[in-house]
Amino acid sequence: MLVLGASRSGTSLFSGLSQRLGFYVPQPEVEPTAANPRGFAEPKWVVDFHQQLLDQLGVQLADGRPGAWRKTESVGTRARVRRELRTWLEGQLEHSPRLVVKDPRTTWFLKLWQATAQELGLKPAVALMLRHPAQVVRSKQQQVGGKQLDMTTKSVGWLNVMLSVEQKTRDVPRAVVRHDSLLADWRGTLATADRRLQVGLLSRATQEQVREASELVEPSLHRSRDLWDGLGVPARVAELAEESWRALGELSHDGDRDDAEVRRRLDDLRNDFVQLYDESLAIARSSVFAARTQKRAKAAGPAAR
């Protein structure tokens, strides 16, 4: 089971619950931090593996460039990279057939994971975490300890990641899980998710495991406001993010609904986002050119200048 979603969207909470309910998180795990004292339930090997690839490709965790996907998807064709992931994954399956792999960077390398899973005869399920974008960027602000972040850049990154990963996971067993629902009623939310995933999130757990999972959930984790006030995000970006949040949220509901209509709306929102990004890039091209020129001059040294 792959746990996906933008960073600070509740991926650690979902993975941690799954771990306590009987899924295996490959060891060793990323160590807890002051920003996340309850732990990440995140395999350190996977984080290092993905980060090395992102660094090589010049792609950020919350990259807002629609074209960045072409770079990361090309990794799936590299025999060495696929062999490295396959070797690691085979080793983990010896510990348990019920793996939960959580790392927000996985989103960028879905094709790589799907190809490797197919080679091993596995059919991954995807839990896609959803949290209000304003909460996500505020949470990231708190995470860095008061440093000023570009909230517009973070909001654009949320749009690019969430709208793209929704498109790329339509053909696999998937559950869209809202962070606020998980905090309010984790058992009901997991039961709803499992009707889509069919992985036995609760049905295969013991009473002791359920008690341990319950101790992980604290309503106080819901700290960030879901308002755009004071973030300085342009109105059109905030509007697109808000509309995308509402449309993605409809996919988290259980029961009868027209997923095809929601997907069409999300496709339109993705197209609107790409158009807005391209227009903004065209407007700012002179500034980009000037920055590159200054960077080259600085690298050349005083004599060349």
In the predicted model, is pLDDT for residue 180 greater than 90? yes
Give pLDDT tens digits for 206-232: 999 999 999 999 766 655 567 898 889
Cβ–Cβ under 8 Å, residues 153 and 137: no
**CATH class of domain segment(s) 2-263:** alpha beta
DSSP string, 92-127: HHTT-S-B-EE-GGGGGGHHHHHHHHHHTT----EE
Interhelix angle 151-168/235-250, rounded to 10 degrees, is 30
Query: What's the rounded Cα separation, in Å, for the pair 124 and 194?
Result: 13
241-294 tens-digit pLDDT: 999 999 999 999 875 556 899 999 999 999 999 999 999 999 999 988 898 888
What is the distance between the alpha carbons of residues 146 and 217, in angstroms, rounded to a whole number? 26
Q: Which of 70, 60, 17, 21 is nearest to 39 (CA)?
A: 17
DSSP secondary structure code for residue 219 in this structure: G
Helix/strand/coil for 178:
strand
Q: Which of 154, 291, 162, 215 is nearest to 19 (CA)?
A: 215
5 bridge partner residues = none
pLDDT for 163 beyond 90? yes
Degrees to nearest 5, angle at CA 66 with 232 and 268? 85
Distance CA 156, CA 66 (A): 10
Any long-range contacts for 139-146 (C-beta under 8 Å, 24+ apart)?
139/8, 139/223, 139/224, 140/7, 140/8, 142/35, 142/223, 142/224, 143/8, 143/35
Mean pLDDT of 21-31: 97
Contact 166, 213 (CB under 8 A): no
Q: Averaged over 165-193, what is the pLDDT?
A: 96
What local confidence, expressed as pLDDT, does residue 35 receive? 74
Domain ranges of the chain: 2-263
